[in-house]
Structure 1
């Protein structure tokens, strides 16, 4: 699907490790968003940066944000570009999953809907997007009405469903 047609992408950014040049994880995300601006990638919206608890073995808190970009690149080509930006900022793709990292960039959604092409590590929408507050919260700031092509729900609806009280929570809350 490459060509001259521009696609919209929602990209997740995360960092929980200091970088010798970029500094704190928050600064890392700010610099990564700047680095995404390229002749064939236009960053035209970004969320605020939030902090979240780590998933998995890492104990360091994460800085998280999302960005809305436009590009003529198809999903595999954009993923390669995102991986090169991660590498530029010191990311090494070896070892334990969910370990501390200087930068993590993931494609959450794209205007083409569902992508399950030949690339083994690329599935759009992102498989864990619907269960992650640190993704859905920032995404509601810049793309609240974007629909998940799998569930048909908007980002805002997914965020509210994830955060609604569970039946047990309602029973335990004082009235």
Structure 2
């Protein structure tokens, strides 16, 4: 039976599909090979996190698939490699970044994968796109909706996010 996942999508480096916004759109299309993409958020222009100086194009998608979390993680890593993503410096420039943020199955904890994504609750570049497509999805650990988490994150971080 299919389950739903919220996938965060980000890029801050041009690749074979073009500028970062085009990479994000191409990644959304690539997710369709893994199941049914039921919603996509607008693309937000966001400030870099960490040492990177390049702005990011960030979005999110809801995906229904029969893949279990580890199989989906492997498929997402394969898409990243196909886009030219190489492992490197944390928070550095990247052609594409695909992260499982939430799962309709609740929480998942294994060495290689933790759902919900450990840092999503404070990251506006993840929450703002999620609110656009899944405002009532709840964090299984806190019980808060993505909308509630975004309001909290906005109070802490006053920088504007530009869709």
Shorter-normalised TM range: over 0.9
CA distance in 2 between partners of 1:165 and 1:43 (Å): 32
Say what the alpha-carbon RMSD is for the aligned residues. 1.4
Q: How does 1:1-175 map to 2 (within 5 A)?
A: 5-19=1-15, 21-38=16-33, 40-93=34-87, 95-117=88-110, 120-164=111-155
Q: Which runs of 4+ in 1 moved over 2 A?
A: none
Structure with bigger strand share is 2
Q: TM-score, normalised by structure 1?
A: 0.87
Which residues of structure 1 form unaligned runs of 5+?
Answer: 170-175
Q: TM-score, normalised by structure 2?
A: 0.93
Which residues of structure 2 form unaligned runs of 5+?
Answer: 159-163
Q: Aligned pair in 2 of structure 1 residues 72, 102: CA closer, same or farther (>3 Å)?
A: same
The structure whose Rg is larger is: 1
What is the SS of the residue equivalent to 1:116? strand
